[in-house]
Structure 1
Amino acid sequence: MEERKFDKNSLIGFLLIGGILLWMLYINQPEETAVDPDTTEQVSDTATTEDATTSAVDESVEPEVTSNAVTQGDSTAVQELQNRLGSFAYSGTLPSAKDATTTLENDVLRLEISNQGGYVVEAMMKEHTTYAGEPVYLIKDGNNEFNLQFSAENRLLNSKDLYFEPSLTQNGANQVLSMKLKTSANAYLEYRYEIKPGEYMLDFNIRSQGLEGVVDTSQPIYLDWKLKGYRHAKSITYENRYTRLTYEYEDEDFSKLSPSGEDDEVEKDVNWMNFRQHFFSSMLLTDTEFPEVAFSSEDLVKDEEVDTVYTKKYGAKMLLEPQAGGLSYNMNMYYGPTDYQIFKGYDRNLDEAMPLGWGIFGMINKYLIIPVFGVLSNWFPAGIAIIVLTILFKLLLSPVQYKQYVSQAKMKVLKPEMDEIRKKYEGNQMKIQQETMKLQSATGASPLKGCLPALLQIPVFYALFTFFPTAFDLRQKSFLWAEDLSSYDTIAELPFHIPFYGDHVSLFPILASIAIFVYMMMSTGQSMQAQQQPGMPNMKFLMYLSPLFMLVFFNNYASGLSLYYLTSNLITIGIMLVIKNVIIDEDKIHARIQENKKKPRKQNRFQRKMAEMMEQAEAQKKAQKK
């Protein structure tokens, strides 16, 4: 954050301005005047009329009206106000036409709703703090704008510039706030908010009454929502990666805008939208689909080295369809955690707003990993829950890993015979490959059999990769030296910034990298030469690449994810040692292979096709030599 410094000159300036204002208020004290409540030619106090005269909406027309003239009962000033606002000038003369807010709150959420515009100008989470220990604000200091744009009496008006009259009441245990933009005592546009105890979701309604002759429904009516997302996490880049605009449209279709650069999209029949800020969300949901919405997103984070206040700038301009009696939209607003369990409880497909992976990866997260981790986190601290979760999944996948290691052991036993084939047909790569495949087919050993079990583990590994960065239960939960498992674990600060690595050193990625290297040495290293055939990737290169990738790119990732990889690879190393030294007998495997050689082995369709292709290639090669 930018450091706020004390400015002596600004203080002197504010004192001088304050003195001038006090002097003007003293010499312009209003006289006691009887006022007809049905007219708008007299305004009750200076502050009210001063704000009212600046609340015009049509930005192309801004006639100058002084608050002093209205305060003194000058009918010309009121006429100017009426010329600008028409019937809505009535609201500009009410006591609410001043910069004030009304508090709407429960035990988890506090909202401040402004008279000007009638929308939320402050939203604070009561139970959550930022990485710096400050309260989490989703809305504050003008980062949010919520505007209804409509035509009335040949004027284009914006509700964000007009003044609403607040009325706060109780509906049982719920707080209800009615904000009315009036043209008369019984004709108004209303925003109605209702908040329930313990809920981040509140009811929100827009409706109009008695405005049939005022609001021009033949012209488009737009609800325009803009919000800049605040930074809440230690790593700007990491938080910004999971900060994204998502929405549902056209009967359970889901989409999102790009997390980088600038992006925009126009969609039909939108049900809800989420201005997601990694672990927190600002959402708008509607019972009546928006016929058309123009979405926009702009990435405000340009460099990890720059201390940025905001991450993304979001926008959604929604087309509203008025009913016969005017506007009537039943909606909901949500200001709270991006938590799967909370989202799932509303039964509105809100969990699709979370980056849990597509297809089978998302299903594994939703129906396996999240429920299991939810149970474990109720029994254990977050770090222990990750370790237990890892153990359970490694045990679940151990039969697959056993088959993988048996295949590797077979390839190791066959290595001397494969070396003989290479020596015998040296210089003829086609013949080497052909004879090697015959040997593998006869003995029932193949490098593909080692790869297939590994491929079966990928969906689970990828699902876990997407789960940990989005698990709200890990946020600000400590383990060992890691202060927050949802962020990186710093053991040393660097005096400079390294591209891709950062300006700090995280310990869990280092330990995980070492564990991965040991595992790669044990698994890939022992069969590297046996599997190194023409056309296959350089296994030695891969053996060094994986640990290096973990070391560099996971330095800024959630330490919970690095803890998982560390634990996973330590368990895998342990399982491999047990399989190798206790379960698998390589001498027995060798004897079984020799027995398999004596038996006629039927080739499958793929093997026959490959053999035919290689024989044809060999024949063509011989023909060319002739």
Structure 2
Amino acid sequence: MEEKKLDINSIIGFLLIGGILLFMLWQNQPTEEELKAQEEAKQAQIEAEKKVEEANDDFKVTPENVTAISATDSVQLANLQNKIGAFAYSATLASSNNEAETVVENDVLAIKVSNKGGYISEVRLKSFVNYDSVPVYLIKDNNNIFNVNFGTTDNRTLNTRDLYFEPTLTKSGENQVLSMKLKVSENQYLEYRYELKPNDYMLDFSLRSQGLSNVINSSQEVKLDWKLKGYRHAKSISYENRYTRLTYEHDGGKIDKLSQASDDEEVEGDVTWLSYRQHFFSSILVTDTPFKSVSLTSKDLVQDEDVDTLYTKSYAASIPLEVKGGELNHSMNMYYGPTDSKILKQYDKNLEESIPFGWGIFGWINKNLFIPLFAFLSGVFPYGIAIIIMTIIVRIVLSPVLYKSYLSQAKMRILKPEITEINEKYKDNAMKRQQETMALYSKAGASPMSGCLPALLQLPVFYALFMFFPTAFELRQKSFLWADDLSSYDVIAELPFNIPIYGDHVSLFPILASIAIFFYMKMTTGQQVASQPTQEGMPDMGKMMKYMIYFSPIMMLFFFNQYASGLSLYYFISNLITIGIMLVIKNYILDEDKIHAKIQENKKKPKKQSRFQKKMSEMMEQAEAQKAAQQKRKK
């Protein structure tokens, strides 16, 4: 971040402004009579507020009056019992009948737990700040609700979020243990127990009851509701929202997600964990015993990036809790921390699968190749240099595939005159033309599809990297050259207006990547146009490819302007290296005269057909014979 310095003119200006303000304050200081009148007015206001407070408070417990209320004010106590029944005992405890918060923290987390509701009211990640250098809060200002809804034997329906818990903070070795109890009596209570270990993002959490078998109505469903609205932490809320998603594991290891782009809901069984992912940070609830049924909901809160700048998505989970012997007893864990595969993997609960590495082969490539490779490189080099080195390694590994593709294009280019001759010779006989063309390809050892196959082999690598860079936590807020944050877009100019899709800024890395793609496509498209024979009745592929030369870079420029600059850096370097490799192959490795001579030799050799080729040849000959017979009958 650029350091802001004051010049001498600014200092003089501030001194002048300060002097003027001090003079105005001195000139307008009140007289003794005005001060006396202000004091009398203040006392009158305090007395009035006190009377209003006394008139409006139906029942308020303080340490001074708790004994008198519980012993003598039977009317007020009866009113409270009518509202919350047996749990009126908990409300009469002065230590718990207030909205105070208990703090538990370690080296990485600062957590506040509210007495009202007994749930976590604030989570601050100590090691991180957002795009605006403000500490990262996952929970704050009532964006989180953790509530147990249950019926009682006296026909009431209660919500723990409305009731007051009594906190007890102790230590178990180096761990901090916070017990929040919602009491019916000293020996009858519902307890939330939080245990925080040193330097750990995971809390042990248990929800249990004691002596409430005659209080909780076990015939009525007991539900745990957990709701969270995800805060914005990145420059682009739309980009962050693209990677903000509710993910869960169910049915013995299956990973599923709710919709990323729209509102969605689902009911799943045997859920072992659910993750409220907010791009680079996650709030995860893990259960030791799978939840038999969970109703999940995700709502997209981003309608306009310029207006809706506080929250990304709203998540909710409704979980029926099993009551055994009239009591609740559930052991869980709560994770509040970075969406970092290295950290999540340490817990051995498959939590790293909440990160969108890509499905199938793409995810496998990321988890087993790119993540370990980048972890090694970034441990030795700065992050921008690590991306460049990884790009070089990937392109060198894929260079044999590129060589095969270029060799195939060279063969097709050499055969083009002969293909054109066949097309002219059999222009009125499509079947014969196709037959002769296939025979030429077979003898020469060439195929139009042989150039497509190498390109298809590279697609899994390209897509895996496309998923890797936006989710690589290591890149978050790491700078390189003019980019302040490789996990977000770089900015070289702010625009005074917003361009749809493009945005309100100019990023340089996408521009460089687009230029590199233009020259790469100009080289490859020129090769393809030169090698493709023109056939009657077919669209002009040359013209279409020329359009693609300009269309693809423009799409790249618009699409990647708001993507991670690390991804644009990769594509820029990758295309530069590819252009270099192609020039080396063309000028120093491939000799078209030698390739032509080899093709002519192959054509002279008797080519043994495979069973499939033989069958296809016979079918084509039969079709040709039938066509000739039909034409003869018509004459």
- Any conservation in 2 of the 1:44–1:71 contact (CA below 8 Å)? no
Matched, 1:117 2:117: yes
- Any conservation in 2 of the 1:500–1:553 contact (CA below 8 Å)? yes
In the alignment, what sits opposite 1:352?
353
Residue 554 of structure 1 aligns to which amino acid in structure 2? F
2-side partners of 1:609 and 1:541: how far apart? 40
Cα shift at 1:194 = 0.7
Residue 440 of structure 1 aligns to which amino acid in structure 2? Y
In the alignment, what sits opposite 1:52?
none
- Any conservation in 2 of the 1:387–1:564 contact (CA below 8 Å)? yes
Cα shift at 1:250 = 1.3
2-side partners of 1:17 and 1:600: how far apart? 111
Q: Are the structure 2 counterparts of residues 42 and 448 from structure 1 closer, same or farther at C-alpha, using a change threshold of 3 Å?
A: closer
Write out aligned runs for 1:533-552 (5 A): 538-552=544-558
Which one is further off, 102-111 or 537-546?
537-546
Question: In percent, how many aligned pairs have the same letter?
Answer: 63
* 3-state SS of 2:256 partner: strand
In the alignment, what sits opposite 2:145?
145
In the alignment, what sits opposite 1:207?
208
- Any conservation in 1 of the 2:70–2:92 contact (CA below 8 Å)? no
- Any conservation in 2 of the 1:501–1:556 contact (CA below 8 Å)? yes
In the alignment, what sits opposite 1:44?
62
Residue 137 of structure 1 aligns to which amino acid in structure 2? Y
In the alignment, what sits opposite 1:132?
132
- Any conservation in 2 of the 1:244–1:277 contact (CA below 8 Å)? yes
In the alignment, what sits opposite 1:86?
85
Which one is further off, 448-457 or 219-228?
448-457
2-side partners of 1:290 and 1:357: how far apart? 26
2-side partners of 1:610 and 1:377: how far apart? 54
In the alignment, what sits opposite 2:220?
219
Deviations 1:556-602 (A, max 9, x none): 11111111111111111111111111111111111101111101112
Residue 595 of structure 1 aligns to which amino acid in structure 2? E
In the alignment, what sits opposite 2:10?
none
Write out aligned runs for 1:181-200 (5 A): 181-200=182-201
In the alignment, what sits opposite 1:486?
487
Which one is further off, 536-545 or 432-441?
536-545
Aligned counterpart for 2:583 among listed residues 577, 582, 601: 577
Residue 132 of structure 2 aligns to which amino acid in structure 1? A
2-side partners of 1:497 and 1:86: how far apart? 58
Q: Are the structure 2 counterparts of residues 478 and 427 from structure 1 closer, same or farther at C-alpha, using a change threshold of 3 Å?
A: farther
Residue 85 of structure 2 aligns to which amino acid in structure 1? G
Q: Are the structure 2 counterparts of residues 593 and 322 from structure 1 closer, same or farther at C-alpha, using a change threshold of 3 Å?
A: same
Residue 504 of structure 1 aligns to which amino acid in structure 2? H
In the alignment, what sits opposite 1:527?
528
Residue 286 of structure 1 aligns to which amino acid in structure 2? T
Q: Are the structure 2 counterparts of residues 379 and 42 from structure 1 closer, same or farther at C-alpha, using a change threshold of 3 Å?
A: closer
Residue 599 of structure 2 aligns to which amino acid in structure 1? I
Deviations 1:494-531 (A, max 9, x none): 22222222222211111111111211222231131422
Cα shift at 1:297 = 0.6
- Any conservation in 2 of the 1:42–1:73 contact (CA below 8 Å)? no
Q: Are the structure 2 counterparts of residues 533 and 21 from structure 1 closer, same or farther at C-alpha, using a change threshold of 3 Å?
A: farther
Matched, 1:287 2:293: no
Deviations 1:518-545 (A, max 9, x none): 1122223113142256668643344333
- Any conservation in 2 of the 1:532–1:539 contact (CA below 8 Å)? no
Aligned counterpart for 2:605 among listed residues 599, 603, 607: 599
Matched, 1:177 2:160: no
- Any conservation in 1 of the 2:275–2:284 contact (CA below 8 Å)? yes
2-side partners of 1:617 and 1:461: how far apart? 43
* 3-state SS of 1:327 partner: strand
1-side partners of 2:534 and 2:610: how far apart? 22
In the alignment, what sits opposite 1:3?
none
* 3-state SS of 2:323 partner: coil
Matched, 1:503 2:509: no
- Any conservation in 2 of the 1:124–1:135 contact (CA below 8 Å)? yes
1-side partners of 2:399 and 2:264: how far apart? 44
* 3-state SS of 1:123 partner: strand
Residue 62 of structure 2 aligns to which amino acid in structure 1? S
Residue 147 of structure 1 aligns to which amino acid in structure 2? N
Write out aligned runs for 1:40-439 (5 A): 43-45=61-63, 74-95=73-94, 96-152=96-152, 153-324=154-325, 326-426=327-427, 430-439=431-440
2-side partners of 1:129 and 1:600: how far apart? 71
Q: Are the structure 2 counterparts of residues 48 and 261 from structure 1 closer, same or farther at C-alpha, using a change threshold of 3 Å?
A: farther
Residue 546 of structure 2 aligns to which amino acid in structure 1? K
In the alignment, what sits opposite 1:11?
none
- Any conservation in 2 of the 1:151–1:221 contact (CA below 8 Å)? yes
Q: Are the structure 2 counterparts of residues 533 and 305 from structure 1 closer, same or farther at C-alpha, using a change threshold of 3 Å?
A: farther
- Any conservation in 1 of the 2:121–2:140 contact (CA below 8 Å)? yes
Q: Are the structure 2 counterparts of residues 515 and 184 from structure 1 closer, same or farther at C-alpha, using a change threshold of 3 Å?
A: same
Which one is further off, 499-508 or 17-26?
17-26
Which one is further off, 522-531 or 479-488?
522-531
Which one is further off, 375-384 or 438-447?
438-447
Q: Which has the larger radius of gyration?
A: 2
- Any conservation in 2 of the 1:45–1:71 contact (CA below 8 Å)? no
- Any conservation in 1 of the 2:416–2:533 contact (CA below 8 Å)? no
2-side partners of 1:211 and 1:348: how far apart? 32
Deviations 1:30-73 (A, max 9, x none): 9xxxxxxxxxx994358989xxxxxxxxxxxxxxxxxxx96996
Which one is further off, 219-228 or 301-310?
301-310
2-side partners of 1:267 and 1:114: how far apart? 30
In the alignment, what sits opposite 2:561?
555
Cα shift at 1:208 = 0.8
Deviations 1:338-357 (A, max 9, x none): 11111111111112111111
Residue 79 of structure 1 aligns to which amino acid in structure 2? A
* 3-state SS of 1:169 partner: strand
- Any conservation in 1 of the 2:214–2:326 contact (CA below 8 Å)? no
1-side partners of 2:178 and 2:600: how far apart? 83
Q: Are the structure 2 counterparts of residues 524 and 202 from structure 1 closer, same or farther at C-alpha, using a change threshold of 3 Å?
A: same
Which structure 1 segments of 5+ residues have no match? 1-15, 31-40, 50-68
2-side partners of 1:297 and 1:608: how far apart? 58
In the alignment, what sits opposite 1:9?
none
Cα shift at 1:309 = 0.8
2-side partners of 1:28 and 1:573: how far apart? 78
TM-score between both structures, scaled by the size of structure 1: 0.88
Residue 327 of structure 1 aligns to which amino acid in structure 2? L
2-side partners of 1:383 and 1:90: how far apart? 61
Residue 103 of structure 1 aligns to which amino acid in structure 2? V
* 3-state SS of 1:552 partner: helix
Residue 406 of structure 2 aligns to which amino acid in structure 1? Y
The CA RMSD over aligned residues, in Å, is 2.6
- Any conservation in 1 of the 2:413–2:532 contact (CA below 8 Å)? no
Residue 550 of structure 2 aligns to which amino acid in structure 1? Y
Deviations 1:174-200 (A, max 9, x none): 111110101111111110111111111
Which one is further off, 479-488 or 519-528?
519-528
2-side partners of 1:418 and 1:227: how far apart? 65
* 3-state SS of 2:123 partner: strand
1-side partners of 2:571 and 2:164: how far apart? 56
Residue 602 of structure 2 aligns to which amino acid in structure 1? N
In the alignment, what sits opposite 1:63?
none
- Any conservation in 2 of the 1:418–1:530 contact (CA below 8 Å)? no
Aligned length: 582
Residue 227 of structure 1 aligns to which amino acid in structure 2? L
1-side partners of 2:458 and 2:110: how far apart? 45
Cα shift at 1:418 = 2.4
1-side partners of 2:325 and 2:127: how far apart? 43
